[in-house]
Structures are given as C-alpha cells and as structure tokens.
Amino acid sequence: MNASPLDNIRIVLSHTSHAGNIGAAARAMKTMGLRSLYLVNPVSFPDKEADIRAVSARDLLGRARVFNTIDEALEDTVFAAALTSRSRELEHETYDARVGAEILLKNAQHHPVALVFGAETSGLTAVEVSKCSVKIVIPTNPDYPSLNLASAVQVMAYELRMALMQAKPVKPKQTEPATLNEIELFYHHLEQIMIRVDFLNPQQPKKLMQRLRRLYARARLEKEELNILRGILKAVEKHLSSKP
Amino acid sequence: MNASPLDNIRIVLSHTSHAGNIGAAARAMKTMGLRSLYLVNPVSFPDKEADIRAVSARDLLGRARVFNTIDEALEDTVFAAALTSRSRELEHETYDARVGAEILLKNAQHHPVALVFGAETSGLTAVEVSKCSVKIVIPTNPDYPSLNLASAVQVMAYELRMALMQAKPVKPKQTEPATLNEIELFYHHLEQIMIRVDFLNPQQPKKLMQRLRRLYARARLEKEELNILRGILKAVEKHLSSKP
C-alpha cells in the first residue's frame, strides 16, 4: 500500500454510547480507505456488537487506540476538525462537509490531523470543540437533522476519498505547524498571565478564552510563531511586579 | 413543507435481506429530506428491526410501498439510476455519486425519478440494471469496496441534498473586522511591551515584528478580538514593575 494522506487522518470518536456504531464507523472508514480509529472513553469497547457491525473491518477495531481524554487523542496532530450540527455563539470557522474534507486533506499531506465526532445524542462538548481548529457541518434536513454517528463518519469518509481523487499534489510546506498540544500549553500560559494582571477574573471568565482560542485556531499557528508567543509570555512573567 | 425536487425522487430497495437496513435507509433518507421509499420483494417487512433502526423516520416506513417487481416500483418515473459497484460488459452510462446525484436531481424537477439499490450481497441483477437509465458508482477503497446498503443510501441522499443546495458553503456568523489602522496601533503597543520586558532588543530586532504581523494578518482580526488583545496589553502594562 502506498503512503496516502488518508493515513494521516485519524477518526476520533468521543464518548460513543453504542458499540455497534463503533463497528459500523470502522466499516465506513475502511470502505473509503481510512485506517486510524481513536476512541475517547467509549461506553463499551471492545464489544461483540462492534465486531458484528464492522464485518470485514475488524482489523481497524483491533488496531483502534483508546484514551481517557481528547487531548491524548489529539496528540501530535497539527489540525483537527470537529463534526457538529449545533451553532454556538462563538463560532470557529465552519465549513460544510465537502469543503471541510478538502481542508482536512490538505492539512494531512505531511502531518497527522484529526476528525472528531461526539457522542450520539449530545454531540461534542463546547470544551472538545474549542480544542479543534475548525468546525464541519454536514448539511441535513432541518426538520430531521439526526444523522446516525456511523452515517456521519460514512459521509465524511466518502468526501475525504472524493477530495483525494481530486487533489493535486501539493508542494511541501516551508514551515512547521505547531501541534495542538503545544497550542493548549500556550492557552494555559496566556490564561495564567491574564489572571495575574487582573484582566481575566477566574470567577467571571466570560468568554475570553473562547474568543482567544477562536482567533488563534483561525491563524493555524506555526511552531516558530508559537515559540515567540510563549517567549513573550515568559518575558512578561519575569517582569511582573509581585504586587500591583 | 415546500415542494422540492427531492419529493420527486423515490428510493427503491430491491430484494433487501436485512430489515434493519431498510430502517437505517429510511433514517438516512429523512436526514437529507427524501421521503418516498419503495420496496421490491423485501425478505421481511414490516419488521421490528426496521422500526428500531429507523428511529424517528418510522413515518417513512409507514408510507413505504411494497411491490413484487421492479417494473411496478418504477411506474410513472421518467428516469432511473441504478446504484452498482460492478462493471458489466454492456455498460449503461456510468457516473460517480456526485455527478449522478446532479443528473438525478435535474431530471426530478418536474417528474418522478428513481434511485435503485440491489440486495446487500448480490446487488442489482443485470435485468434490473437494464431497466434503469444510467448507472451510478460510489467511489470506494478498491481493497474493501463493501459499503453497507444503508450507508450507500446515506451517501447518495447526502449528494442529492448537496446538489439541491448547489454546494452552498455554510457561512460563519457575520462579524465586524478590525481596521488596518486599529491593527497598526496594536502592533505598536505590542512592540512597546516586548521592548519593556526585554524580549525585543530595538538595536537587534531580528524579524520578530514581521513574524507577528504575518501571524495576525493571517487571522484577519475582528474588532472585538483586537479589543481583547489591546486590553491584555494594557493590563500587563499596569502590572509591570518599574525595574526588573
């Protein structure tokens, strides 16, 4: 098998309730050439129902990795897309399934990326979405938008394959993207500084961190830029007076 | 509900073996706004398993029509597309899922049309295909092309909805962009702070400001985001000690 950008795309299923959906998702992935399945806190896995629904995609289940937190599942990724149907006040950049798949594939040329799906009924939490780079919405019937989880995986996997068939080889990027975990450390550091200078009240944080996350998610930070931002924070920290 | 060309598109499932797939297909249809389900010789229907998998699309099952032959199911249609993965010697015109959906929708503007799916394992017979106008193939992984029946319905229903929307991207919320002049003031302020905390040496500035400009230019700052960034700088300024 030749290396394909599809191999850089991991499907992350967070808090899946029904094991059958994990199996059906694995089958959906394999029919389109996706292979990496990451599970965050599944209710039941491994599970006989998952095996049954996977049919001949059980090898994906056997290689699936299970984690306790989404941060672990996003380790090493430079880009993540959150599948969601809901609109929130503070939107990440939002794309439909087709454009979203193209963007995901473009980002997967040289580095690992993730496509993240939430629990069947409740979807992704706001915190989970905030850790992703963009949102993807599959257009649905507004009167009945209740797409089955494995069906949503199927549609996205299909769009990724279509994008692959249409993609032209791209030039290697000159710059190294920051990983999402590194970016999380930056957010944490920034938050601490904002609290120390009384800009952020931890008792009443409002939506400050969400707004800043949205801004930097849009910018797609490079490793070097991230180092500069962290450097500024460290320098500021050193020069803060102990009492205002 | 307004009249839509989707209402002219009937999904025909021929000789379906597993009732669960009929239910899952009904759900897949409804999520994309399709409503007419025609069944040719299903092994078991109505069936409890179909009801379970349909979830809230049971109304489609209730209105589903059951026939003995594909000719009856195609009654009144002016156009029919056969979903197939196999190549046969005498090919109908064959389209991929995307182009096929566009053609189907175009033909559905004023008259009934059909999209026909065969049995899970064996697919459509040569005779059934020969009664259709064109063939549609969903691109798959050549090493594992075994798409579940309801998943195939889901992909096609999704493509029909996309064709209906003419691939209109989901627009993010309208926000007020910051002016370039406002952004200049931010850069200036940031530079001052970096100098004060000894992160930037004005004698040897390297390319720090250029790099930061590039980052924020890419992000296309909104007015409110700019206000937050300026607010952070002001708060930091107030808390800086006069001497390090």
Q: Which residue of A has its CA nearest to B240?
A: A240
Peptide bond into B177 cis (omega under 30): no
Q: Which of A179-183, B1-5, B62-66, B181-185 has the lowest mean pLDDT?
A: B1-5
- Chain-chain contact of A137 with B194 (C-beta, under 8 angstroms): no
* Of A99, A145, A154, Cβ closest to residue B155: A154
At B237, the pLDDT band (50, 70, 90 cuts) reads: very high
| Alpha carbons B115 and A177: distance in angstroms, whole number | 44
Considering only CB atoms, which chain B residues are within 8 Å of A56? 144, 146
- Per-residue pLDDT at A2: 53
Query: In which region does residue B76 sit, left (phi positive, over 0), alpha (psi from -120 to 50) or beta (all else)?
Result: left
Cβ(B79)–Cβ(B111) below 8 Å: yes
Instruction: Give me the mean pLDDT over the B158-174 stretch.
Output: 74
pLDDT tens digits along B99-152? 999 999 998 988 899 999 999 999 999 889 888 888 999 999 999 999 999 999
- Per-residue pLDDT at A235: 95
Q: Which residues contact A66 (CB under 8 A, 6 or more apart)?
A: A38, A39, A40, A42, A45
| Alpha carbons A46 and A30: distance in angstroms, whole number | 18
Same fold, A5-166 and A180-239: no
Q: What fold, for A5-166?
A: Alpha/beta knot (3.40.1280)
ipTM above 0.85? no
Specify the 3-state DSSP secondary structure of A173. Answer: coil
Domain positions in chain B are 5-165, 180-239
Contact status of A209 with chain B (Cβ, < 8 Å): no
- Per-residue pLDDT at B32: 97
Pick the CATH number of A180-239 from 3.40.50.1010, 2.40.160.20, 3.40.50.300, 1.10.8.590: 1.10.8.590
For chain A, percent of residues with pLDDT exceeding 90: 81
Considering only CB atoms, which chain A residues are within 8 Å of B156? none
- Per-residue pLDDT at B13: 98
- Chain-chain contact of A221 with B238 (C-beta, under 8 angstroms): no
Contact status of A238 with chain B (Cβ, < 8 Å): yes
Residues 116-175 of B with CB under 8 A from A: 138-141, 143-148, 150-151, 154-155, 158, 161-162, 165, 167-170, 172-173
For chain A, percent of residues with pLDDT exceeding 70: 93
Residue A221, both tokens:
């930070």
The CATH homologous superfamily of the domain defined by B5-165: SPOUT methyltransferase, trefoil knot domain (3.40.1280.10)
Considering only CB atoms, which chain B residues are within 8 Å of A155? 154-155, 158
Q: Which residues contact A216 (CB under 8 A, 6 or more apart)?
A: A183, A186, A187, B219
pLDDT tens digits along B45-69? 999 999 999 999 999 999 999 999 9
**What is the identity of the amino acid at B100?**
G
